Structure 1
Amino acid sequence: MRLKLVPRETTWDFFRILRLTFGASAAAVIGSILLFLLVGLNFGIDFLGGTTIRTESPAAVDVGAYRDALTPLGLGDVTITEVFDPTFGPDQNVAQVRIQAQPGQESVAPETIAAIEEALRGVDPGITFASVESVGPEVSGELVRTAILAVTLAIAAVLVYIWLRFEWQFSLGAVAALVHDVVLTIGIFSLLQIRFDLAIIAALLTIVGYSLNDTVVVFDRVRENLRKYKQKDLRDVLNLSINETLSRTVMTSVTTLLALVSLYVLGGDVIRGFVFAMIWGVIVGTYSSVFVASAILLWLGVKRDWSKPDQEAGTQFGGAQP
């Protein structure tokens, strides 16, 4: 017996509570923006500047012991990761310690670095320090600008792609869903004060791709049904299309979440922020494909010129096939 997360055929009216779902989305977006402006994000070293210390030791790296040794120093955001670096040889154990810039300093002071090295030697007397690198405010500022540009260009590319593939109404619906997902992800990071670094930017770009894929699947079925049911009301066509793709949407989301939850539980602190962003993005991306993108399309309407042949109905460019 095959597992079914949703019935084979559903006839749910996804727009029955349209005002409630759309109002909740609008309130969540506004709340996320206010959180970002009033509370801000807990930026990591990538965006605030700081120092990275690379260590080498003949003994196995104990991340927990390293962290316990540095906690009494009160250094703020400290990230400790064990890394594989073939340049150190197969028998070496290498770790990377990242410390945020201290208040009033462009980088971690030499005295602080010396205290860090002394604390780590207390845990592992054989430890050596291969390199010490600092990220200044100019570099971190450039990273912030580059990250914003990357997300903006990704959303702009989606706008053009959907516009060419479908009609402008579809394009605005898809982009509204993407902006909804990105803003809500930033809002939850601001609310929970989870560290926000370059890995989260990578997660945001991945969320954009995931949400777009989900939205395009629904929109493709909408376009097919617009040709097939020329006299059917647009709301009915949208409901039919969402119901027909619902099984695929739920199965994709659930299987993705199973892998992400496993990574979140077992992956450790290094990737936990990235995985949390992905889990949140899959949930809101699935929601927005149904309750935001489709709702925008219903509100804007779509051109349905019945004087054209069937293969050209409901499309912007005469009969263009996906």
Structure 2
Amino acid sequence: MNGKIIDFMQWRKIAGAASIALFVLSLVFLVVRGINFGLDFTGGALIEVEYVEAAPVQEIRQTLTEAGYRDVTVQLFGSETDVMIRFQADNDPDLGNKVVDLLTASGAELELLRNEFVGPSVGEELRDKGGLGLMLALAVVLVYVAFRFQFKFGIGAVAALIHDVVIIGGIFALFQLEFDLTVLAALLAVIGYSLNDTIVVSDRIRETFQESTETDVVKLINIALTDTLSRTLITSFTTALVLIALLIFGGQMLAGFAEALLIGVVVGTYSSIYVSSNILLATNLTRQDMIPPSREEPDLTEEKPSWLQDD
């Protein structure tokens, strides 16, 4: 590599302590405050109405809240006249008409398009399958990275992914942000994003170990991290710009997705540099681990069998 080598690993102990502290705090928040599951998981009513003119979202939310409905979420759905309303309620086939009557009492003109109910058992099944999907994704990552690189890299990659997912969950628990299916999708996307970043770094570490004659493992990792820094920062920056735009202009329906993925990009960039690399050093990675076993050359001087010897 040409140019200055950035000594990332000089901060590895501080970064490791910070990661452990954030991880433990996130677990505490998850246990003490818990996840604020949305209607996708807890069950409730979903009603879609279409207004003749632009829908007054704040007024709709206030009207339903004053009427006694709990956890009301009102958001535009596709256009400024199409509104999606979600709230906790018992299963009532006539609930949609009751909401329409309540909203038309103020003189607004609207039409009921959809009236659905998600039961708690369906929400519980979604939650269980979502958690199973996360664990399965982590297991597949461990196997894939272990086969592609080396088992120590697999441990580092999975540790970084668990670190990212738990911290995102801890932030959502701390601020009681709504956790719905879009957030679960964001967590799976974070696993893919962070894994891609970790694989790029791991690939460069392997190449550096194989190409360099340097024996200092810390220096070799610093060289690999410096080589991939510009790629990592550019990818993270451009992804963050898109997510910020999505967070601002995407509406309430995509807010949770953008929030979770934006946190994941920041935490994932950090973990691909420090968490996975720290794990590699903790597992005593050596140059011998990166050198593929050489095939034994056949002994050409060995005497041929009698039936192969020339007459």
Same fold (TM over 0.5): yes
Report deviation, 1:257: 1.1
Match of 2:105, SS state, is helix
When structure 1 is superposed on structure 2, of 129-138 and 40-49 the one drifting more is 129-138
List runs of 5+ in structure 1 lacking aligned partners: 1-7, 86-91, 102-106, 306-312
Query: Secondary structure of 1:60's partner?
Result: coil
Aligned length: 294
Among 96, 105, 114, the residue aligned to 2:84? 96
Q: How does 1:168-179 map to 2 (within 5 A)?
A: 168-179=151-162
Which of these residues, 266, 272, 275, is aligned with residue 283 of structure 1?
A: 266
Q: What CA distance in whole angstroms lies between the structure 1 residues aligned with 2:33 and 2:95?
A: 29
Which residue does the alignment assign to 2:280? 297
Report the CA distance between 1:317 and its aligned residue.
Answer: 7.4
Quick one: distance in 2 between partners of 1:55 and 1:128?
5
**Correspondence for 2:130:** 147
Match of 2:46? 52
User: How far apart, CA to CA, are the structure 1 residues paired with 2:74 and 2:293?
Assistant: 54
Question: 1:239-287 CA distances to partner (integer Å, 9 max, x unpaired)?
Answer: 1100111111111111111121122222222211111111100000000
Shift of 1:206: 0.6
What letter is aligned with 2:254? I
Q: 1:135 aligned to 2:123?
A: no
Q: Classify the secondary structure of the residue corresponding to 2:185.
A: helix
Q: TM-score, normalised on structure 2?
A: 0.87
Partner of 1:249: 232
Which consecutive unaligned segments of at least 5 residues does structure 2 have? 296-311
Q: Distance in 2 between matches of 1:317 and 1:37?
A: 47
Equivalent residue runs for 1:150-165 within 5 Å: 150-165=133-148
Counterpart in 1 of 2:304?
none
Q: SS of the counterpart of 1:16?
A: helix
Query: Partner residue of 2:202?
Result: 219
Note closer, same or farther for the CA distance 1:93–1:242 as it changes in structure 2 (3 Å cut). same
Correspondence for 2:66: 72
Indicate if the aligned counterparts of 1:185 and 1:277 stay in contact, CA closer than 8 A. Answer: yes
Partner of 1:267: 250
For the pair shown, the structure with the greater C-alpha radius of gyration is 2
- Contact conserved, 1:170 with 1:219, CA < 8 A, in 2? yes
Please name the residue that 1:309 is paired with: none
Q: Distance in 1 between matches of 2:253 and 2:107?
A: 22
Residues 164 and 264, structure 2, Cα contact 8 Å, conserved in 1: yes
Which secondary structure state, in structure 2, belongs to the residue aligned with residue 301 of structure 1? coil
The 1-side partners of 2:292 and 2:129 are apart by: 34
Q: Distance in 1 between matches of 2:267 and 2:65?
A: 36
Distance (whole Å) between structure 2 residues aligned to residue 316 and residue 268 of structure 1? 51
Matched-pair contact (CA < 8 Å) for 1:99–1:108: no
CA distance, structure 1, for counterparts of residue 148 and residue 91 of structure 2:
51
Kept in 2, the 8 Å contact 1:44–1:100? The answer is no
Q: Which moved more, 1:107-116 or 1:193-202?
A: 107-116
Assess if the C-alpha contact under 8 Å between 1:55 and 1:128 holds in 2: yes
Equivalent position SS for 1:61: coil
C-alpha contact (below 8 Å) 2:16/2:275 kept by paired residues: yes
TM-score (norm 1): 0.84
Distance 1:264 1:140 in 2: 26
Give the superposition deviation at 1:93.
Answer: 4.6
1:30 partner letter: V
